[in-house]
Chains A and B, each alone.
Chain A
């Protein structure tokens, strides 16, 4: 990762700074305080909350930073996208639900038919369609290509049978994009197709899965003789793996989560200033202060690694193993910050405040303590999904150590 040719410049240029100010101004004006308060307090957002922020961004034309302008996107380069994401996180804006905007959208633009683009893309922007991702199955996690959900051609329909799982926020979705097996005799990767399915189709059943922090964030989706029109297939039959992999590269944008980490670290500092230990603020306790500093140092360096990669991407160089590196380091840092928050809360990390999250009950102890243990446990997912951190390390090692096998 060598930057040669020009002198190193560690700062944003004037244009980028002006853009950042514009984003800050927009957030100050348009982000509803009720929403940012919920995000900041770690409360669960309901569908109406997500829809509200989605609509505000759409009205501004800032909903789809990764989309080209012809499809209603912002046409921003990687640096602007990064600035936008970071400012949103720092302002405690709701996270944009990625399934339609950052996952399916780019696939349709690249591989969808004209009819599919014309139909689905505007509905993603308007919020009319809420998509969920039907990739994983009970038997197919890291080894996604081993998926078994079957789609058998019957005239101008596919008949789908099988089970998807871990479907995030499927309870809000009216659409699901699925990887299904259309040729069981081909090599695993070569018999997969990519289908767009209406969640209202007869034969689909959704069952919530309770996560360990008590949130119904994911679901199982069962398919029994579900009839899907052939025109809902994206691209060619049995070429779904290619589209799936394309989607996964988009899933990995903003993978470092620098903004989330910065916001998280700031709130840990607030907590540690308020907590008293042995007659002085916790932030002055050398043991806690050392932990905090270690994470902050890691985050400073990682933010710069992220910018180095972004600035190269903005100059047209495709990232390679660096995105795997950012996934690992970015998630580990976020989890470390969750751990610090849990520590900082002391005994008040113990209450389980699901009732308080639903709004009425007063939180127990200081208001910052309520969600910290829940978030600590919930964010164990960061190193599991989106390609587990072990799979990312495999990618890094294979790429770098390939020389051994030459």
Chain B
């Protein structure tokens, strides 16, 4: 048994942690939050140079990682610093889908993504789809050798910045069928596709997409017709590892800030860390964060396993972290008192990152239900 990181991953972790603690403090990050772009191209480029994006791809794909533990290592550090740059949406989801399914021309985009020179977004969720991964009402109908897309996509993170948007659309079956979903690579400025952008409460930007007779040639198709669900669910499994690890890193920061604050804040003539009522609350948080760490390790370690095992561990992590994340965010704010309610205090953003993780690709209840269903299949 060995729970230590490999030497390469340890180096990656050290480099990334050092870079972010030097260059990505509260002031820098809060300025990014208020910027029109919602992310910092300069920081994106520097992180690409450090190999942070490459670590999310396998060697065959042009990277030097791409396994569950590589993803967990990167995202834990991103979470620790409350990074809002679009690693999940551009690299892990967009780049990951291109790498898994792309033809030669599409693979070339992966190289650009790894170099930090191409931005992507995944437009899959829809206004009435909530978290149902199979919900696709957007239609793709044949048009000569290509297709025409019609539909709407909801909360497409990083859409405005993306050079290309990967759009899911249905070619057969009904709205909640797994079969019949296809993927297409659509230039952001394609005729008929309109974006309405807005900031997100925990940082970054997203957009509502309207696809109104978007005409695509055959070269836009990504992977086989009607077979997109499987690729999507494999990538979303990786997203579950990433989101869990990111929340874990953020929880580490939340508890560290709280520990520091409790030992320096005095009320009634003594540090508030000396109140036993608060000590026990802090102790409970630390216990739960260790649980979260183990859940992340399980999910990361099973990302390459058979789908059932992979998904059971992914669902377990998202269920546990949905619960623990809320607890940690709320309790660390409470243990601070008013100060943690202010925008300029680091914990405010960190707490929002943690809680809003629960709104991406399923909340804690969604994953609990999934875990139960997968257990039935396993038994």
Which chain A residues have a beta carbon within 8 Å of chain B's beta carbons? 136, 141-143, 146, 165-166, 209-214, 275-279, 282, 285, 287-288, 291, 335, 339, 342-343, 346-353, 355, 364-365, 373-374, 376-377, 380-381, 383-385, 388-390, 393-394
Contacts and interface: CB of A to CB of B under 8 A. Distances in A.
A279 B131 contact: no
A287 B198 contact: no
Contacts of A393: 277
A253 B275 CA distance: 28
A347 B125 contact: yes
A376 B201 CA distance: 12
A352 B351 CA distance: 15
Interface of B: 125, 127-128, 130-132, 154-155, 176, 196, 198-202, 206, 208, 267-269, 275, 277-278, 326, 330, 333-334, 337-338, 340-344, 348-349, 351-352, 355-356, 358-360, 363, 365-366, 368-369
A348 B196 CA distance: 14
Contact of B338 (A278, A335, A355, A385): A385
A210 B343 CA distance: 6
B206 A212 contact: no
B154 A347 contact: yes
A351 B206 contact: yes
A276 B343 contact: no
B215 to A, nearest CB: 27
Given A142-B267, A350-B359, A380 B337 contact: no
Given A210-B342, A275-B130, A277-B130, A339 B277 contact: no
7 contacts: A212-B351, A291-B365, A343-B358, A350-B360, A351-B200, A352-B198, A390-B334
A279 B198 contact: no
Nearest to B196: A364
Contacts of B344: 210
Nearest to B204: A350
Contacts of B155: 347-348, 350-351, 364-365
Contacts of B208: 364-365
Given A348-B154, A373-B355, A374-B201, 12 more contacts: A209-B342, A211-B341, A277-B130, A277-B366, A288-B365, A335-B330, A343-B363, A346-B130, A346-B359, A347-B155, A352-B198, A390-B278
B337 A142 contact: yes
A343 B132 CA distance: 15
Contacts of A376: 355
A384 B359 contact: no
Contact of A287 (B127, B176, B337, B369): B369
A34 to B, nearest CB: 24
Contacts of B200: 350-352
A184 to B, nearest CB: 16
B365 A343 contact: yes
Contacts of B277: 390, 393-394
Contacts of B127: 365
Nearest to A276: B128
A209 B338 CA distance: 11
A389 B330 CA distance: 13
A288 B200 CA distance: 24
A406 B196 CA distance: 68
Nearest to A372: B201
Contacts of A275: 130
Nearest to B277: A390
Contacts of A276: 128, 130
A246 to B, nearest CB: 22
A277 B352 CA distance: 24
Contacts of A136: 338
B343 A166 contact: no
Best-surrounded residue of A377, A388, A390 (most CB of chain B within 10 A): A377
Contacts of B268: 142-143, 146
Contacts of B201: 213, 349-352, 373-374, 377
A141 B342 contact: no
B337 A347 contact: no
A335 B333 CA distance: 13
Contacts of A166: 338
A146 B132 contact: no
A332 to B, nearest CB: 10
B130 A380 contact: no
Contacts of A141: 267, 337-338
User: When A and B form their complex, which 7 residue pairs have the shortest distance between CB atoms, in order from nearest?
Assistant: A212-B348, A210-B343, A143-B267, A287-B365, A352-B201, A346-B130, A347-B155
B67 to A, nearest CB: 28
Contacts of B176: 278-279
A326 B136 CA distance: 47
A240 B220 CA distance: 74
A287 B364 CA distance: 10
B365 A381 contact: no
A389 B154 CA distance: 39
A113 B334 CA distance: 39
Contacts of B199: 351-352
Contacts of B154: 347-348, 365
Contact of A212 (B330, B343, B358): B343
Given A141-B337, A347-B155, A364 B198 contact: yes
